[in-house]
Chain A
Amino acid sequence: MAEYVGQPVLRYDGIGHVTARTRYVDDIQLPGMLYIKVLTSPVHKGIIRHLDTSAAERMPGVAGVITAKDVPGKNAYGLIPDQPVFTPEHIRYKGERIAAVAAVDEDTAMEALEKIKLDIEEQEPVFDPFKAMEPGAPLVRPEGNVWEFNSGKTRKIRFGDVEKGFAEADVIVEGTYTTATNDHAPMEPQVSVAYIDETDRLAIYTVSQDLYFHLGMLTAIFNLPMNKIRYIGGTVGGGFGSKNDIHCDHVAGLMALKIRKPVKYRHTRREETAYTTKRGPWTFYFKDGVKKDGRIIARYVKTVHDTGGYAGMGPYVVDKNSILVAGPYAIPNVWVDGICVFTNKPPCSSMRGFGIINGTAADQLQTARVAEAIGKDPWEVHFINAWREGDLGATQFKVEAAGLIEAMKRAAELAGIELPAHLKAMSSRGR
């Protein structure tokens, strides 16, 4: 019997990496390839009153200019497809794409961008999600600044009866926590190479983490069937969720379709940092009802997630966070209100953990405070509340193959911490 699973088999792509034979997208150069630069909004919020690209088009060395008018299909993409490739009118964040130029080199393309006449009526932006929720706040979106879930303006998780839990609790512990905007900062910035191939199809070398997911979005933008796009990828220089959203393929693809020449569009590190999707910031409010013995019997969580100017994966991230924000604990009464707010910032989306890292960051400070409030060792609180096999989570899923207690025991051992005998005797297989 072959038994490779579990063995330290060397990386299949490891030799490629150490010899630098691995080909990343920016390593690809095609004969006659042109370079794209993108004109982005210099203001956080506004309306495009006038856009004239003719001077840029006439400039020597420029092969083509595209704007919203050059999108043959849907000028919208994303998991929730609400973000335009090029905005035709409304600007919702500084850095939003307006036009793109392809030229013989990036310097020429940059020069051409300066020749584009752009007249924007600037409007008052809103950055603070709490202000954005107030009545009368500047509207980031015509439909309102708070995302509508199928449950209304909050994602509601209702499990048990939190009020009853608070009434039965010996101690109430409250806390507010925030997490910051994070950048994925993969070492490989976003880049795309697009050309018309030998079968007259659009071919795109991509850094996408999700070939089929993005292929679906691209077919809608280009108005092409899937088999008219050859989407080439599979090797990525770090993603962490940044390449879970399209940042360059739509622009490069549209340009190649228009000028029928090979093009490369790559972000500088500054463009990467300023304009790509981010891990959005959060505010968490927790209120726990706790028994003196350490049992958490009620947990109320209210979360506010700032998703920037477009939905991206923001509402999805709030959903995912809501499922697990109460932590890996058997808490009989849980109430979660998750809110996703638009502000005039670059859209926030997925990053390593889809909101779960943020939930864990908050819930673990709160749980440590619970231990402090009742004068117990944090280990005790984690152990007695930890999910056992068959426990229910806050959204009523059943915990299968529970393993938190086993992980904690091993971690304590490796950290040289002697756990009390009654904790050591515990197991995920029973309470």
Chain B
Amino acid sequence: MKKRGIGIAVGTHPAGLKGGGDPSQAQIRLKPDGTFDLLNGAVDIGQGCKTILRQLAADELDVPLENITHQNIDTDTGPMCTGTFASRVTFMDGNAVLAAAADLKKKIRDWAAEYFECSPADVEVANNKVFVKGVPEKSLSMAEVGAMVNWGGKFLVGTGAYTPGPGQQFDPETGKMTAIASLAFGCCVAEVEVDTETGVVDVLKLVQVFEVGKAMNRLLCKGQNNGGAMMGIGFGLTENVCPYYPTMDFAVQDLTDYVITTAADMPPVMVEDIVEVPHPNGPRGAKGYSEMTASLAGPAILNAIHNAIGVWITDYPATPERILKALEAAHA
């Protein structure tokens, strides 16, 4: 018999290293034609940091996006980044990039104040221009500034670093640990159909919503949300390196036996969305969250299985074998 059920799961996820103390740095250089090189040390593992860090730099410098290159090639040129892990790059490197852009803007203002013979406070860097507030004739394009600065024997480099705070240890007695850069939130609703004869679970519908502070790039979020869901479905239903745990007998050897989701496992209805509660310390309010996109589908599906067939599967993954055994035990 095929039985349907609905399940929900909610969760939260921190950005950055447990205990804090995981800095990132960034550097932005003004080139002779008024374009920029952004250098940082974060690795793009597919999440899209090469894209969003430029977005942040362009906004802060108020220049066209295409005027900014991004390099993260090696440790000779790239400033330090603790690493791409723990949903930390948007938050830490994002803040570092904003700081570097602000620093460069300040240096450009100082240079322009000398040139225009005014106070730096009167100089504005905006709209790809550098000008004295309220004096339209005292204005230079960024291209002009780049040429004058660089060929004039100066080198303007903005540097920035961000750390969520000094590293913390747990209090040994109470476990007190307050260093959490940001917390993102999420909720997943799964609808499944369980075949009580075969134990096979079909995920019919998956709704995921994440509260991300501020989406840097909504479509990169969409990719994380949908992609994480596919990994979460695998976590819930199939993925197991040691099927006879705790023994290592018949441990899986390759992708033939380690079953990850394919396009055919996509729920026919997949809905994702974000909500935004800006974080006071996040770059433009952003939090780090994308690891969490894989956390909720699994428990939502197992809760939906319970809703469908009335038995709890308490061991992940909920394989057909486990479902049939649980049904058998319930009827015994």
Whether A associates with B in a native complex is: yes
Interface string of B51-64 (1 = CB under 8 A from A): 11011101101111
Q: Which of B41, B52, B172, B210 contacts A150 (CB 8 A)?
A: B172
The 3 closest A-B pairs by CB, nearest first: A210-B83, A403-B211, A157-B175
Task: Write the nearest CB–CB distance from B228 to chain A, whole angstroms.
Answer: 8
Q: Decide if A231 is an interface residue (CB 8 Å cutoff).
A: yes
- Can you pick out 13 interface pairs between chain A and chain B where the beta carbons lie within 8 Å of each other? A4-B58, A5-B217, A5-B284, A11-B220, A178-B316, A182-B241, A210-B43, A234-B71, A238-B46, A364-B299, A395-B175, A408-B209, A417-B189
Answer whether residue B176 sits at the interface, using C-beta atoms and an 8 A cutoff.
yes
Question: Does A414 lie within 8 Å of B271, measured CB to CB?
Answer: yes
Whole-angstrom distance between the alpha carbons of A226 and B82 in the complex?
15
* A324-337 interface code vs B (CB 8 A; 1 in, 0 out): 10011000000010
Q: Which residue of A lies closest to B315 (CB)?
A: A178
- Does A151 interact with chain B (Cβ within 8 Å)? yes
Instruction: Take A181-B241, A236-B46, A269-B254 as given contacts and tell me if A157 and B174 are in contact as well, using a CB distance cutoff of 8 Å.
Output: yes
A408 near B187: Cβ-Cβ < 8 Å: yes
Closest Cβ of chain B to A334, distance in Å, is 9
Instruction: Name the B residues within 8 Å of A178 (CB-CB).
Output: 314-316
Chain A residues within CB distance 8 Å of chain B: 1-13, 44, 94, 127-129, 131, 149-152, 155-159, 175-183, 185, 208-215, 226-227, 229-241, 243-244, 269-270, 273-274, 278, 281, 306, 316, 319-320, 322-324, 327-328, 336, 343, 345, 350, 352-354, 356-357, 360-361, 364-365, 368-369, 378-379, 382, 386-387, 393-404, 406-408, 410-412, 414-415, 417, 428
A278 to B317, CA, bound (A): 16
Query: What is the minimal beta-carbon distance from A69 to any residue of chain B, in angstroms?
Result: 28
**CA A238 – CA B210 in complex, angstroms?**
22
B45 touching A239, Cβ below 8 Å: yes
Contact call A407/B10, Cβ cutoff below 8 A: yes
B213 interfacial by beta-carbon distance below 8 Å: yes
* Contacting pair A213 B73 (CB below 8 A): no
Q: Mask for B229-250, Cβ within 8 A of A = 1, else 0?
A: 0010001000111100111100
Closest chain-A Cβ to B185's Cβ sits at a distance in Å of 4
Which A residue's beta carbon lies closest to that of B19? A319
Option from A4, A12, A238 in Cβ contact (under 8 Å) with B70: A12
Q: How many angstroms between the C-alpha atoms of A5 and B292 in the bound complex?
A: 22
CB distance from A219 to the nearest CB of B (A): 10
Known: A208-B43, A401-B280. 6 other contacts (CB 8 A): A182-B235, A214-B83, A273-B254, A324-B12, A364-B300, A387-B12
Alpha-carbon distance between A394 and B65 when the two chains are bound, in angstroms: 43
Please give, as numbers and ranges, the residues of chain B lying within 8 Å of A127 by CB-CB distance: 246-248
In the complex formed, the residue of A with least CB distance to B220 is A11
Q: Report Cα–Cα, A161/B313, bound state, in Å.
A: 31
Closest to A181 in B: B241
Known: A234-B73, A401-B183, A415-B207. A406 touches B255 (CB 8 A): no
- CB of B13 closer than 8 Å to a CB of A: yes
**B84 within 8 Å of A (CB atoms):** yes
A213 vs B75: C-alpha distance in the bound complex, in angstroms?
11
Residues of B within 8 A of A9 (CB): 51-52, 54-55, 65, 217
Whether, in the assembled complex, B273 has its beta carbon less than 8 Å from a beta carbon of chain A, the answer is: yes
Whether A404 contacts B185 in the complex (CB less than 8 A), given A185-B258, A411-B209, A414-B207, comes out as yes
By a CB distance below 8 angstroms, the chain B residues around A11 are 48, 50-51, 220
Cα A78 to Cα B205 with chains together (Å): 40
- Distance in angstroms from A398 CB to nearest chain B CB is 7
User: Is B106 close to A, CB under 8 A?
Assistant: no
Q: How far is the CA of A11 from the CA of B246 in the complex (A)?
A: 43
CA separation between A211 and B246, bound complex, in Å?
34
User: Do residues B240 and A395 form an inter-chain contact, with CB atoms below 8 A?
Assistant: no
Q: State whether B275 touches A2 (Cβ < 8 A).
A: no
Residues of chain B within 8 A of A234, CB atoms compared: 43-44, 71-74, 78
CB distance from B21 to the nearest CB of A (A): 12
Cα distance A236–B49 when bound, in Å?
Answer: 12
A5 contacts across to B, CB distance below 8 A: 52, 55-56, 59, 214, 216-217, 284
B279: Cβ under 8 A from any A Cβ: yes
> Please, which residues of chain A bring their CB within 8 A of the CB of B207?
411, 414-415
Contact call B41/A273, Cβ cutoff below 8 A:
no
> What's the nearest-Cβ distance from chain A to residue B115, in Å?
23
With A281-B242, A369-B312, A395-B177 already in contact, the answer to whether A2 and B18 are too (CB < 8 A) is no
* Any A CB within 8 A of the CB of B266: no
B80 interfacial by beta-carbon distance below 8 Å: yes
CB <8 Å contact, B175 and A151: yes
For A394, list chain B residues within 8 Å (CB).
Answer: 175
B62 and A212 contact, CB distance less than 8 A: no
B189 x A412 contact (CB < 8 A): yes
A345, B73: Cα distance in complex, Å: 35
CA distance A397 to B281 in the complex (A): 15
A180 near B316: Cβ-Cβ < 8 Å:
yes
Is the Cβ of B82 less than 8 Å from the Cβ of A212? yes
Chain B 17-52, CB-CB to A under 8 Å as 1, else 0, gives 011000000000000000000000101111010111
Instruction: Tell which of B14, B183, B217, B292 touches A8, judged by Cβ atoms closer than 8 Å.
Output: B217
